[in-house]
Homo-oligomer: A and B are copies of this chain.
Amino acid sequence: MQQPDLTTYRYLVLAEGHFGPLTSKTANSAVRFLPDRVLGIVDSTRAGQTVQDVLGFGGEIPIMGSMEEGLRLNPTALLIGIAPQGGALPPAWRPALTAAIRAGLHVVAGLHAYLADDAELSSLAAEHGVRIHDLRRPPAGLPVSKGHARNIGAYSVLTVGTDCNIGKMTAGLRIRDALRARDAKVGFAATGQTGILIEGWGIAVDAVVADFIGGAAETLVLKAAEGNDIVMVEGQGSLVHPGYSGVTLGLLHGSMPDGMILCHQPTRTCPYGAGNPYSWMPLPSVPEMIRIVEGAIAPLRPSPVIGVSLVTFDMDEAAARDEVARIQDLTGLPTTDPVRFGAEPLADAILRAAARKKGN
């Protein structure tokens, strides 16, 4: 689970042809959470712009037109900045990878296809003395979950969502930071490649053999609880996503959270938004989704949704504030967009719930 080198690399990020607010989740999270260690992005279709121009955050980090230009920034590692659905390495990227390795860069990737298993890349890496980190590769010997995670002393919180790619990791990290600002001892259980990149440890639960999803989650929660009073568990997928719901339920039942934070994007009406393979199904409303996630864990233990985290970057500020207020009224739960308006209301809700657990 531990990959300590990850906490020191200075990255050039490959996002060729796909750098954008919705298309380069790994790159964007690296910018958001490791801004001092992202030296530049490679995307020839955006060359000359800054990250701020494209994402609306990220400041002056430059977007480079080629690997050659990017290498002049003196990075120590190349990060694959997008995670294509299905997870395979697009053949067009191979020249960029070999160029990076030849230039002495380590390679960090979160694809389902493990780069270290690629004969050309691994022998080239050995020749040039660099490491290939496949963030998604699971550790050996994972157990089948037994429900042990329900017995930790810390208060555990899982971020869940109405959909994939809807702010579950970001909410978790923002809440963690807000909790630490209040001097709480918080562990973060990273369950996806981007969370592992940021934290330096974790297990990508979507990459384990299906029987061990829950066991991976249980293993992570037990470790993240050590020496901490609160555990934030990074959520994955959605219980209503036709492609990924199995990962989500396994994570829910393996992590056995004391409470949950529900993540939602008000403008999204079907999985991944309109015009995609899932446009045939509507997303549940926030109250419906609260019933679904609470109902899914109820047979194992009671676990309430204790707050709502919204993604509102595509709404103007007045509309976003109105929506936060509307959802808060509708659900009776603390609601915020943790990126836009701060995570404090959710951190405070967790502190109150943790105090109640400790008092019992």
- Which residues on A are within 8 Å of B, measured CB to CB? 85-87, 112, 143-147, 205-211, 213-215, 239-251, 253-254, 256, 277-278, 280-281, 284, 288, 292, 295-296, 299-301
Contacts and interface: CB of A to CB of B under 8 A. Distances in A.
Given A146-B278, A214-B245, A240-B299, 4 more contacts: A144-B244, A211-B247, A246-B249, A281-B299
A283 to B, nearest CB: 8
A147 B244 CA distance: 11
A300 B242 contact: yes
A301 B288 CA distance: 15
23 contacts: A85-B144, A112-B209, A144-B243, A144-B244, A146-B242, A146-B277, A147-B242, A147-B277, A208-B210, A209-B210, A210-B246, A210-B250, A213-B246, A241-B253, A242-B253, A242-B254, A246-B247, A246-B250, A284-B299, A288-B299, A292-B295, A292-B299, A295-B295
A239 B243 contact: no
A184 to B, nearest CB: 28
Among A87, A205, A207, A253, max chain B CB count under 10 A is at A253
A256 B86 CA distance: 20
A144 B93 CA distance: 22
Contacts of A210: 205-210, 213, 246-247, 250
A146 B280 CA distance: 10
Contacts of A214: 242-246
A200 B320 CA distance: 56
B243 A145 contact: yes
Contacts of A284: 299
A207 B206 contact: no
A301 B278 CA distance: 12
A240 B239 CA distance: 14
B243 A251 contact: no
A300 B280 CA distance: 9
A300 to B, nearest CB: 6
A207 B207 contact: no
A295 B242 CA distance: 14
Contacts of A146: 242-243, 277-278
Contact of A249 (B86, B209, B249, B280): B249
A267 B56 CA distance: 60
B211 A209 contact: no
A208 B245 CA distance: 14
A-B CB proximity, top 5 nearest: A246-B250, A213-B246, A144-B243, A240-B299, A249-B249
A253 B248 CA distance: 12
A214 to B, nearest CB: 5
A249 B253 CA distance: 12
A284 B144 CA distance: 21
Nearest to A284: B299
A247 to B, nearest CB: 5
Given A284-B299, A299-B284, A211 B87 contact: yes
A357 to B, nearest CB: 18
A300 B292 CA distance: 12
Contacts of A241: 253
A37 to B, nearest CB: 28
A295 B295 CA distance: 9
A256 B210 CA distance: 19
Nearest to A292: B299
